Amino acid sequence: MGTADRATRRPRRWPWWLGAVLVGTPVLVISLFWGFQRRIIYLPDRSSPPHASAALPGGQDVTLHTRDGLALTAWYVPAPSRHSSAPASECPMTVLVAPGNGGNRAGRTALALGLIDRGYGVLLLDYRGYGGNPGSPTEHGLTSDASAARDFLVGHGVPDARMIHFGESLGGAVVSRLAAEHPPAGTVLRSPFTELADMAAEHYPLIPARWLLWDRFPVASLVAEQHQPLEVIYGDGDTVVPASLSQRVAASAGGPVRVTIVPGADHNDPPLASGPGVLDAVDRLAARVDCS
């Protein structure tokens, strides 16, 4: 009797809605990522920072003009004269600082102060959509913004040979593109990633993000084609950009490269954002410049 019952039992049917959930949930997640990815990638503080003179000694509020017609505010401190008593004055250099994907330039005040204290000029930009600036951030847009910063410096008597590009995280991708077009005296990449798709794979492993991204930021392939000195800095406790990605960027360098590891530092910890190891890396690049 038991055998007959099993033979006539109907196959179990799953509720119709369960199939819809199993299929629909991944589609919904992928659709949300597709539509909102730039809100995930770019996290601007849109408020206007204080006047430069209130944050930095000798600071000036300046305007950068992009080639697509935007006027962007930035902070600028000119390099000291060659006869100044500041440490780097024997060969006045200016550091173009490209921030990461979050906040605005006010959050990089400590880095700018450290550079100024060591005798460098500083141009600390804010991208479109950041720090009260018009526009919305994209890869092409940030590239244009960095070009406007470089054009400003050249227009104010700072040639590429007296310029150091400093890129923080996503800003490392921005200055890598700029350096490919206009090689500076050297480049500092703090917490760089190889390309944006690798970052997406780290943080969203269940989404085919590599095939969905609108912005690419191919850092490793760009530095592989460059021959100017490169400094790569990362923290071995970084939970945002894995140390392995920064290591791969350094390994791909086409020119001389030096690596600085900040032990235990997470992505936004002060020692990694503006500590002595970071400033020493800038000094090493400046020491390579022929001041004659």
What is the structure's pLDDT at 138? Answer: 93
In CATH, the number for domain 50-287 is 3.40.50.1820
| CA-based nearest residue to 173, from 198, 148, 154, 155 | 198
CA distances from 139 to 126, 187, 207 (A): 14, 19, 21
Confidence (pLDDT) at 197: 86
Percent of the chain clearing pLDDT 70 (strictly above) = 80
User: In this predicted structure, which of 9-18, 89-98, 280-289 has the lowest mean pLDDT?
Assistant: 9-18
Give Cα separations from 76 to 28, 60, 249 (angstroms). 45, 5, 29
Domain residue spans of the chain: 50-287
Lowest mean pLDDT of 26-35, 83-92, 179-188, name the range: 26-35
Q: How high is the pLDDT of residue 2?
A: 47
Confidence band of 191 (pLDDT split at 50, 70, 90):
very high
Residue-wise pLDDT for 118-131, tens only, equals: 999 999 999 999 99
pLDDT greater than 70 at residue 227 = yes
Q: Distance of alpha carbon 194 from its chain centroid, rounded? A: 11
Q: Rounded CA gap, 265 and 146, in Å? A: 27
Q: What is the pTM of this model?
A: 0.86
pLDDT at 9 over 80: no
Q: What is the pLDDT of residue 29?
A: 47
For residue 292, the model assigns a pLDDT of 66
- How much is the mean pLDDT over the chain? 87
Smallest CA-to-CA distance from 281 within 244, 239, 246 is with 246
In this predicted structure, what is the pLDDT of residue 209? 67
pLDDT of residue 84: 56
Specify whether the CB–CB gap between 132 and 52 falls below 8 A.
Answer: no
Q: Is 230 exposed, middle or buried (0-12, 13-18, 19+ CB in 10 A)?
A: buried
Quickly state the pLDDT bin for 36 (edges 50, 70, 90).
very low
**Is residue 20's pLDDT more than 80?**
no
pLDDT of residue 214: 72
| Sign of CA pseudo-dihedral 271, 276, 277, 281 | positive
Instruction: Report which of residues 24 and 81 the model is more confident about.
Output: 81
